[in-house]
Amino acid sequence: MREIIWDLFTNTIAATKVLGIDDDFAKQLQEAKDKIRPPEIGKAGQLEEWGHDWDMNAPDNNSDTGRHHRHVSHLFAAFPGWQISIHKTPELAAAVKNSLEIRGDFATGWSNAWKINLWARLGDGDHAFKILNQQLRLVAGSKTVMGGSEAGGTYANMFDAHPPFQIDGNFGSTSGINEMLLQSSERYDDPTAPGGDRYYIDLLPALPSQWPTGSMHGLRARGGFQVDLDWKNGQLTTATITSVGGTATKLRYGAKAVNVNLKPGEAIRLDGELLLSLQR
């Protein structure tokens, strides 16, 4: 819960700056936010769910009270939140990874989808792809299976097989595919625009090795941008960034990062080294 509140307060404070309103309210939120207990790492290197290593002191099974239970809500700070990231908080990101490994891969519905997104946020496209394949595994019957290798899957009509049906698995898995190819959750401060809504746009941050060559057109990134990508042999070949209403962003691909400033409607095309190849 404290991760959700941290996210809510942080986003609301940012909104007051962008809109130029409610300074006093933002100050109150900041004072309250500073009192929130930060995420903590437990004795197994995992992100603690409740404190005092509750999860590691739980029974070694996948029951509702076991340490391998499919719920991973305590990892909200990594996805869909952004308090934890591999770039800014690598130790906490490693703890998220340990938590995922302890909980295990097998689950149903929203849990499968959440794990796909989380592994993508951690930059592990192959692990995200593994769980995506489990989610798309054909299920012929409607027997309720909540744990183990027979859990989850997809019915022949493409409905998610969290008996009797859970749309979270469908929508969440689609989100996970997007997260493998494009992420824009991490904010940065722009000294030229105090209070501006600025985001890193990560290109192919978790590309699975099973997708060595391909393309993606039309995904939207935070900050007001549209992104088209092409890649070959696992490497980015071209990226076209179009401003829908945004101005400044930082494009990041692997260890490379470049600043981009566009007017609404403008577009640039970059090569795999993030060098300008065409402006239109």
pLDDT of res. 50: 81
Whose tokens are 């080294």? That residue is 273
**Res. 280: pLDDT tops 60:** no
* Confidence label for 279 from pLDDT (cuts 50, 70 and 90): low
For residues 43-51, average pLDDT: 87
pLDDT of res. 272: 92
pLDDT of res. 188: 92
What is the Cα–Cα distance from 140 to 163, expressed in whole angstroms?
12
pLDDT of res. 144: 61
Long-range contacts of residues 185-189, Cβ cutoff 8 Å, at least 24 apart: 185/79, 185/80, 185/82, 185/85, 185/121, 185/222, 186/82, 186/85, 186/87, 186/88, 187/14, 187/82, 188/250
For the chain, give percent helix, strand, coil, nearest 5.
30, 20, 50
What is the Cα–Cα distance from 48 to 42, expressed in whole angstroms?
5
The sign of the torsion formed by the CA atoms of 179, 180, 183, 185 equals positive
**100, 75 Cβ separation under 8 angstroms:** yes
**Res. 65: pLDDT tops 60:** no
**Res. 100: pLDDT tops 90:** yes
How do residues 133-185 score in pLDDT, each as one tens digit? 999 988 876 666 666 666 778 888 888 888 777 888 899 999 999 999 999 99
Give me the residues paired with residue 271 across strands.
238
Of residues 268 and 165, the one with the higher pLDDT is: 268
pLDDT of res. 149: 65
pLDDT of res. 192: 85
**Res. 59: pLDDT tops 80:** no
Which runs of consecutive H residues, i.e. helices, occur in 59-124?
90-103, 109-121
Report percent pLDDT > 70 for the chain.
91
What predicted TM-score, i.e. pTM, was given to this entire model?
0.92
pLDDT of res. 213: 98
Run of H or E including 29: helix 23-33
For residues 61-87, average pLDDT: 83
Of residues 250 and 154, the one with the higher pLDDT is: 250
User: Both tokens of residue 69?
Assistant: 């239970």
**84, 77 Cβ separation under 8 angstroms:** yes
Domain 184-279, CATH: 2.60.40.1180
**Res. 63: pLDDT tops 70:** no
Decide the pairing of beta strands 214-221 and 248-253: unpaired
**265, 238 Cβ separation under 8 angstroms:** no
Query: Where are the domains positioned within the chain?
Result: 38-181, 184-279
How do residues 194-238 score in pLDDT, each as one tens digit? 777 899 999 999 999 999 999 999 999 999 999 999 999 999 999
pLDDT of res. 151: 72
